Structure 1
Amino acid sequence: MRLEKDTLGEVEVPEDVYYGPQTARAVDNFQVSGERLPAEFIKAQAAIKIASAKANMELGKLDTHIGKSLVEAAYEVREGKLSDQFVVDAFQSGAGTSQNMNANEVIANRALEIMGYEKGRYDIIHPNDHVNMSQSSNDTTHTAIHIAAVETVYSSLLPAIDELLVILDEKKVGLMSIVKPGRTHLQDAVPLTMGQEFSGYFRMIELDMKRLLEAVDGLLELNMGGTAVGTGLNAPQGFSKIAIREMNSITGIGFRLAEDPFEATQAAGSILACSAALRGLAVSLTKIANDLRLLSSGPRAGMGELDLPAVQPGSSIMPGKVNPVMAEMLNMACFQVMGNDTTIMMAAQAGQLELNVFTPLLAHNILGSIRILSGSISSFNRKCLSGLTVNTERCAELAASSLAIATSLAPVIGYDKAAEVAYRAHNEGRTIKEVVIEMGLLDDHGVEHLLDPMELTGVKK
């Protein structure tokens, strides 16, 4: 152990770690979940420290030798080389002060090593005075959430959604000629094609992606230099503009300064909007997963219109049973995202006066939602959606037997007479076509034209 000191007194810190006394206190205080804020957040924190150090050096506030060592150490953090040093529980001090100090201490001690000093020589490089210069936990934690969310959406979630859209578009086009019964209220409805059904799925996800991109645009605003309450106290003139320039150089993303640093410090509207977009995507995915589970139900006692890829045995007791496990997995992932959104809503509304202190919880949940959706969509794409096939004979059989095709008779013989045909067909266990012919309501040409399921879909043969 090495003995270090903060403003509350002396603290024993393990000799081999890079964090310092405030992190050690936090580890002892917050023994809650064993969960940590994700790597994406740590990576974003490091970017803030790099950009801040460069801005402070350019403005003459930070010694160049110290600044360059801080930048080098922070780049190592951003590359994940010191990930095991970020040890504070996700459920921690408000405003992420402990998390910010964890980063400050790790970067300070690594920079000391780079300069040839022992860890803990805070008289040379101080976590607060140097690493945290021109910053506060109150602005950097908000900013790190924005950066991490944007980077993760761009690198993981959007590619997964793009792949999903490509597959859905292929299904939409390739299955347009396969007629099947429609269902509303889980009851027989007029026919449509499998391609038309998938076109609905495609457009749902396309719109969800549009809403997500609109929400991400709000996250491009960063509260750099707002410090404690938005006034920019202790940040030199020009710091914010230089820091945002450096941030864009580090990330390759077009971030911009928050229009109002007071809003950016006390509110969480952009995070809330992003979470709402993720929730909307999760709702659409749940609907699609539920549909696939229903349409593939069987193989003999269900709808049986779709065959999903068999990826693993389905039962520990029933031999030969195969379950729609990938759709079930997607359901569970989406339920978690919906729950995360509720937590984000509660945290966003609970901010008081000049600061929302629940940023660690916001970070934990928004980044968790992005990660869960990215992984679940990607797995679903590869293991289920891309390999599903259609039981065309089953679809045609069900479409022909559907009582709802009597709908096409209403303009010719009237609603009441068409309903009589449907009831009679159902009660006698016959098709609409058989009853119409027996009752002599249409000639052969009329029967073939009006009661052809494909004709009713509006798709040209």
Structure 2
Amino acid sequence: MASDQPPIGTGATGAREERDALGAVEVPAEHYWGAQTQRSLLHFDIGEDRMPAELCRAYGLVKLAAALVNGEAGRLAPEPAAAIAAAAKEVADGDLDAEFPLRLWQSGSGTQTNMNVNEVIANRASQLLGGGLGTGRLVHPNDHVNLGQSTNDGFPTAMHLAVLLAVRDRTLPRVEALAAAIRAKAEAWVDVVKIGRTHLQDATPLTVGQEWSGWAAQLEAAAGRLREALAPVTELAAGGTAVGTGINAPDGFGEALADRLADLTGLPLTTAPNKFAALGSLDALVAASAGLRGVAVALMKAANDMRWLASGPRAGLHELRLPENEPGSSIMPGKVNPTQQEAAVMVCLQVIGEDAIVAAAGSQGTFELNTMRPLVIGNVLHSARLLGDAAESLRVHSVEGTELDRERIAAHVDRSLMLVTALSPHVGYDRAAAIAHRADHEGTTLREAALALGVDPADFDRVVDPATMVGDPRRDLGLPG
């Protein structure tokens, strides 16, 4: 194998002839793709959404594993098997990303992308063997690269692999890092008493740490549910070929491919126990998308609360001082906005919308195949990427630099009418309510209203102590007392 050939295009210019079952097609000579890819570029010039690079790289891993399995079994001769494996690894490593130009909007099975991958690997492998490209190549995209496979089992296998890698390597680490940063702030502020709010109205006190621990716990739980949702995604369709029967694939091919992919990725991959379900449905990715939606819901709660608590600085709550990342207005000098939180909320809304699309697409399986696969992989990978990036940005550019406006927090506690809740067991609900209403209507303090209605000053001072109303915050956060 001529391994000294560079993995970057062909160095040619102009056009060359490639052929498929429908005849000859001219393709750009500087690229590795072939006739079917070129036809797709012509017939599916829809929008600007390209098949995600993560999917094409995952496909490279699938073709690499298939070449190794076929080579070891003697179905491919050693030299072409090694060349296919080497070319597929270049695809998996992202070295050939420019060779995958196809739109997301194509055949619902992903056939054009499967052939795009097959053609690129075939031409590159032929080049590595010292052969030509196109009609004179030494490796065939169908007979060799696609050996033992169909688009109908290969594309869903690549889909599952791409999602597992994206969530494992990008989404979950960044969401969990954000949750850890929020929990660290919760622990640092565990004893800072603040006023609670329900229905957007004043409520009884809690601590800043308790409030932040709620956000951390939501994100931690959502990340855990996302991990659980990935379990069915580890089951691969490979081996089912066209309709689930495994026609043209040797016995044990699916199992061997899953084992080899597990070795290559470190993922707990297995062959799907029922290939008819694996091809005819998208249920595993529908569940994974729902897991991503769950993370979005938890992230939105935290981001929204943060931006409300930072509102001000003079006419809002302003209990939080967010980092000042950039000027906030082109007309109002000195204005700074909660832009990281706003970006996170927009991402969360996008993910929730994409999940609705995935669910709808998942319902469109007909007979032996669901033909909404490009739509689903585009949305799931987009959601996974957006959530990971938003979590990282929020952590680095906002959460870790957030501080408290302790004077404002203390002032809110001092002015709160709902501290009267602690007085209720001693004077009765109706009398406590009368105290709160009087203080509100007359603009006095709660203590002044209580004394005016006959409450003993010593009793009020003993009972209405915000620090005694927050329970045991250190216990709530699992901290030593």
Measured against aligned partners, the alpha-carbon deviations of 1:51-88 in whole angstroms (never above 9, x if no partner) come to 11111122222222211110011011111111100010
2:353 to 339, 355, 379: 339
Amino acid paired to 2:460: V
Amino acid paired to 1:313: P
What is the match of residue 23 of structure 1? Answer: 37
What is the match of residue 394 of structure 1? Answer: 408
1:156 paired with 2:165, answer no
1:383 paired with 2:393, answer no
2:55 to 41, 47, 69: 41
Which SS does the other structure have where 2:313 is aligned?
A: coil
Could you tell me whether the CA contact under 8 Å between 2:176 and 2:220 is conserved in 1? no
Q: Which sits farther off after the overlay, 431-440 or 265-274?
A: 431-440
Amino acid paired to 1:172: A
Give the Cα separation in 2 of the matches to 1:9 and 1:430: 89
Could you tell me whether the CA contact under 8 Å between 1:59 and 1:239 is conserved in 2? no
2:419 to 405, 409, 416: 405
Which SS does the other structure have where 1:259 is aligned?
A: coil
Which SS does the other structure have where 1:169 is aligned?
A: helix
1:427 to 413, 435, 441: 441
Give the Cα separation in 2 of the matches to 1:432 and 1:459: 25
Which SS does the other structure have where 1:457 is aligned?
A: coil
State the Cα distance separating 1:102 from its structure 2 match: 0.3
1:61 paired with 2:75, answer yes
Which SS does the other structure have where 1:190 is aligned?
A: strand
1:207 paired with 2:224, answer no
Give the Cα separation in 1 of the matches to 2:45 and 2:266: 37
What is the match of residue 452 of structure 1? Answer: 465
State the Cα distance separating 1:113 from its structure 2 match: 0.3
Give the Cα separation in 2 of the matches to 1:236 and 1:64: 18
Which SS does the other structure have where 2:312 is aligned?
A: coil
What is the match of residue 319 of structure 2? Answer: 305
Q: Which sits farther off after the overlay, 156-165 or 86-95?
A: 156-165
Give the Cα separation in 2 of the matches to 1:231 and 1:434: 82
State the Cα distance separating 1:217 from its structure 2 match: 1.5
Q: Is there any run of 5+ residues in structure 1 with no aligned partner, and where?
A: none
State the Cα distance separating 1:234 from its structure 2 match: 0.4
Give the Cα separation in 2 of the matches to 1:87 and 1:124: 24
1:27-426 aligned within 5 A: 27-121=41-135, 124-426=138-440
Amino acid paired to 1:316: S
Could you tell me whether the CA contact under 8 Å between 1:191 and 1:456 is conserved in 2? yes
Give the Cα separation in 1 of the matches to 2:275 and 2:172: 29
Amino acid paired to 1:41: L
Measured against aligned partners, the alpha-carbon deviations of 1:116-173 in whole angstroms (never above 9, x if no partner) come to 1110146632111111111111111111111111111111112112211221111111
Give the Cα separation in 2 of the matches to 1:220 and 1:131: 23
Which SS does the other structure have where 1:180 is aligned?
A: strand
Give the Cα separation in 1 of the matches to 2:137 and 2:198: 72
Give the Cα separation in 1 of the matches to 2:142 and 2:462: 81
TM-score, length of structure 2 as denominator length? 0.94
Give the Cα separation in 2 of the matches to 1:274 and 1:265: 17
Give the Cα separation in 2 of the matches to 1:101 and 1:172: 52
Measured against aligned partners, the alpha-carbon deviations of 1:356-404 in whole angstroms (never above 9, x if no partner) come to 1111111111000011011111011000011111111111111121111
Which SS does the other structure have where 1:253 is aligned?
A: coil
What is the number of equivalent residue pairs in this alignment? 460
Give the Cα separation in 2 of the matches to 1:140 and 1:442: 79
What is the match of residue 3 of structure 1? Answer: 17
Q: Is there any run of 5+ residues in structure 2 with no aligned partner, and where?
A: 1-14, 474-480
Could you tell me whether the CA contact under 8 Å between 1:449 and 1:455 is conserved in 2? no
What is the match of residue 440 of structure 1? Answer: 454
Which SS does the other structure have where 1:254 is aligned?
A: coil
Amino acid paired to 1:454: A
> CA 1:123–1:163 in 2, change beyond 3 Å: closer, same or farther?
closer
State the Cα distance separating 1:89 from its structure 2 match: 0.4
Measured against aligned partners, the alpha-carbon deviations of 1:271-323 in whole angstroms (never above 9, x if no partner) come to 01111011111011111111111100000000111110000000011111000
State the Cα distance separating 1:238 from its structure 2 match: 1.9
Give the Cα separation in 1 of the matches to 2:279 and 2:189: 51
TM-score, length of structure 1 as denominator length? 0.98
Give the Cα separation in 1 of the matches to 2:136 and 2:441: 88
State the Cα distance separating 1:108 from its structure 2 match: 0.2
Measured against aligned partners, the alpha-carbon deviations of 1:99-120 in whole angstroms (never above 9, x if no partner) come to 0000000000000101111101
Could you tell me whether the CA contact under 8 Å between 1:181 and 1:188 is conserved in 2? yes
State the Cα distance separating 1:241 from its structure 2 match: 1.9
